[in-house]
Amino acid sequence: MRDAQAFDVFYRDTSIRMVRYGYALTGELAEAQDIVQEAYTKAWRHWRTVAVHPAPEAWLRLTISRLATDRWRRLSGWRTVLSRTGPPEPVGPPSEDTVVLTAALRQLPANLRQAVSLHYLFDMSVAQIAEETGSPVGTVTSWLHRGRTELAAILTAERALEVHDAE
Amino acid sequence: MPNDLERAFAALSDDTTRQARLAPATAVRRSADRQTLARSVFGAAAAVLLVGGVLVGSRLALSHKALPPLPPAQSVAPTSAPPSAAPSATTPSAPSSSTGSPSAGSSATPTTPPAGPTSKPAPPPVPKSIPNRAFLNRSDANVMTLTRLADGRSGPELCDEAFYPSTQLIGINASVRLLFRPAGEGEGYAASGYVTNTVTVFRSGGAEDFMDEFRATARACTQGERDGQTYTYRSLGGLGAGDESLLVQGATPARGDDGEPMADGSQQYVYVSAVRVGDSVALVETTGFESVSAKRKDAEKFTSRAAQRLADWRS
């Protein structure tokens, strides 16, 4: 018997973090929501395994990164499920920082995007990222360095463009 | 600039908290359970048909001559351990995570504990990159385009039941895709299909785990969605390549160029195969171009070639 209560607590405590991660990986909030719901669906189907996993959140992140990479595959109709819960509450557009960041992240290769997102969203150290991605520490160090450098270059160029446009 | 990045990620976090809309946990569980139930019902129906088929078949076999046996689910390499040495959960310590060069060859690590009665040499370390020679290439088909994909593909998600915990043991992987036309045809001839070849090197027994998971996925996914169409999947057994292999066929009603099902009831096929060579797996996905169906003989040929290229690289 799977422990529904434990799953619900896990979902409540972790789902927003996972959407942030999905958003950083895909650059689209709606897509991130779909991917995250799909990942939790998988987690519940395999809850006996996930519940005793030494790091259930890492298991979920891995599933999300896989779904984000393979997003050419179809996802279950989570938007249909949500539509049954009523119309969405009105929300403002994403902030300018978010728009610029997601656009910049999309220009990075998937491994750099993943490393940078894990570092900034989950405050993970190089060693922790290395363990989660199964990559050597030196490789992750290089990913983070390249990721930061490339993001900084893109963001700087965007800001320069904004200043130029404002003048 | 690090501060800029921190500020940008903080903005993304805030926006997500403000804007994200997730279904309640109960809806997630219910949806997962419904999917499982649907598959169970379909599986039970398939089992009834199978049992019926077996009964009819056995009567035919008794009254006539026996049919040849089905192909084995997996091929066994001549050098493998005896049947009793099934893939176990015990995983020898991973090859040093400080990876060697891609051309490291077969530098065995003598500190690895003995794996069994046949004391196989330790696998070479996980390489830093996968060279082009490990993949299918232009000599393997009448190739129109050959593309190295930005990201390596993961395990085939034939349906929602697909589950590959071995993903956590991937050392490195990469994919190429070839667009090909029929053999012997020239420039002006239309493409006949795509083949996507993924090479994955695993750590700590992940390759064996992956093959088990692929077999389990093929059993669980009797039906699944793909490119908006419903495919029926069936395992075609091993191909006698590598240490173990499996070929899976997906079928859906063929559609014409107008997108409508063909009047003659013909089927359109896709093939997904995996071959393990030591700590590595070659995954081959063969699909037709547009409304053209993939051919089994092409899938078998590509799989065999991919296995050979992987073996040549990892040996």
Encoded tokens for A160? 């320069």
A40–chain B nearest CA distance, Å? 7
Kindly state whether residues B47 and B153 are assigned to the same domain: no
User: What pLDDT, on a 0 to 100 scale, did the predictor assign at position A161?
Assistant: 61
- CA–CA gap between residue B147 and residue B165 (Å, rounded): 28
- Mean pLDDT in residue range A37-62: 88
Contact with chain B for residue A86, Cβ under 8 A:
no
User: What pLDDT, on a 0 to 100 scale, did the predictor assign at position B40?
Assistant: 54
Structural domain includes residue B8: yes
In which element (H, E) is residue B47 found?
A: helix B25-63
- Tens-digit pLDDT profile for chain B (315 aa)? 567 889 999 999 998 988 888 888 888 888 888 766 655 555 555 555 545 544 444 443 433 333 333 333 333 333 333 333 333 333 333 333 333 333 333 333 333 333 444 455 666 788 989 999 999 999 999 999 999 988 888 889 898 888 888 888 889 999 999 999 988 888 878 888 999 999 999 988 889 889 988 998 998 899 998 877 899 999 998 888 999 999 999 999 988 767 778 888 889 999 999 999 999 999 999 999 877 899 999 999 999 999 999 999 998
Domain boundary among the residues B63, B81, B114 is at B63
Total domain count, chain B: 2
User: What pLDDT, on a 0 to 100 scale, did the predictor assign at position B65?
Assistant: 36
Q: Which of B154, B161, B227 sits opposite A70 (nearest CB)?
A: B154
Asked if residue B206 lies in contact with residue B219, where contact means CB atoms within 8 angstroms, the answer is: no
Q: Give CA separation, A158 vs A29, A150, B12, B42, B178, in Å.
A: 21, 12, 17, 53, 37
Is the CB of B165 less than 8 angstroms away from the CB of A49?
Answer: yes
pLDDT digits (tens, 9 = 90+) for A73-97: 444 444 444 545 555 555 567 888 8
CATH code of the domain covering residue B174 = 3.40.1000.70
Domain boundary among the residues B63, B87, B105 is at B63
User: What pLDDT, on a 0 to 100 scale, did the predictor assign at position B24?
Assistant: 85
User: What pLDDT, on a 0 to 100 scale, did the predictor assign at position B310?
Assistant: 96
Nearest of B156, B197, B157, B199 to residue B180 by alpha carbon: B197
Structural domain includes residue B171: yes
In which element (H, E) is residue B271 found?
A: strand B267-277
Nearest of B179, B168, B190, B158 to residue B274 by alpha carbon: B158
Kindly state whether residues B146 and B247 are assigned to the same domain: yes
Contact with chain A for residue B28, Cβ under 8 A:
yes
- Which chain B residues are closer than 8 Å to A45 by Cβ? 32, 35-36, 160-161, 163
Structural domain includes residue B188: yes
Asked if residue A30 lies in contact with residue B19, where contact means CB atoms within 8 angstroms, the answer is: no
Kindly state whether residues B297 and B166 are assigned to the same domain: yes
Helix axis angle, A126-133 to A110-122, nearest 10°: 130
Q: Give CA separation, B254 vs A4, A19, B191, B263, B265, in Å.
A: 42, 38, 17, 9, 7
- pLDDT more than 70, % of chain A: 80
User: What pLDDT, on a 0 to 100 scale, did the predictor assign at position B69?
Assistant: 34
Report how many Cβ contacts below 8 Å link chain A to chain B. 149
* Host domain of residue B12: 2-63
- Mean pLDDT in residue range A148-153: 91
Structural domain includes residue B96: no
Encoded tokens for A45? 């189907």
> Residue B243 has what DSSP assignment?
S
Is the CB of A138 less than 8 angstroms away from the CB of B35?
Answer: no
pLDDT digits (tens, 9 = 90+) for A109-122: 888 999 999 999 99
Structural domain includes residue B117: no
Q: Using the structure block, give the residue that is written with the tokens 């690895």.
A: B112
Nearest of B276, B13, B286, B299 to residue A120 by alpha carbon: B13
Kindly state whether residues B166 and B308 are assigned to the same domain: yes
- CA–CA gap between residue B88 and residue B209 (Å, rounded): 9
All domains of chain A in start order, with CATH: 1-91 (1.10.1740), 93-167 (1.10.10.10)
Asked if residue A61 lies in contact with residue A21, where contact means CB atoms within 8 angstroms, the answer is: yes
Asked if residue B274 lies in contact with residue B289, where contact means CB atoms within 8 angstroms, the answer is: no
- CA–CA gap between residue A42 and residue A60 (Å, rounded): 9
Structural domain includes residue B120: no
- CA–CA gap between residue B128 and residue B130 (Å, rounded): 7
- CA–CA gap between residue A150 and residue A104 (Å, rounded): 9
Kindly state whether residues B177 and B268 are assigned to the same domain: yes
User: What pLDDT, on a 0 to 100 scale, did the predictor assign at position A69?
Assistant: 75
Kindly state whether residues B136 and B59 are assigned to the same domain: no
B193–chain A nearest CA distance, Å? 18
Euclidean distance between the first and the last CA atom of chain A, given in angstroms as a whole number: 65
Kindly state whether residues B39 and B183 are assigned to the same domain: no
Give chain A's mean pLDDT.
82
Kindly state whether residues B150 and B55 are assigned to the same domain: no
User: What pLDDT, on a 0 to 100 scale, did the predictor assign at position B77?
Assistant: 35
Closest CA in chain B for residue A112: B151
Kindly state whether residues B59 and B207 are assigned to the same domain: no
pTM for the model stands at 0.49
Structural domain includes residue B21: yes
Structural domain includes residue B68: no
Kindly state whether residues B36 and B185 are assigned to the same domain: no
User: Which residues does residue B199 pair with via DSSP β-bridges, in sequence order?
Assistant: B174, B282
Asked if residue B168 lies in contact with residue A62, where contact means CB atoms within 8 angstroms, the answer is: yes
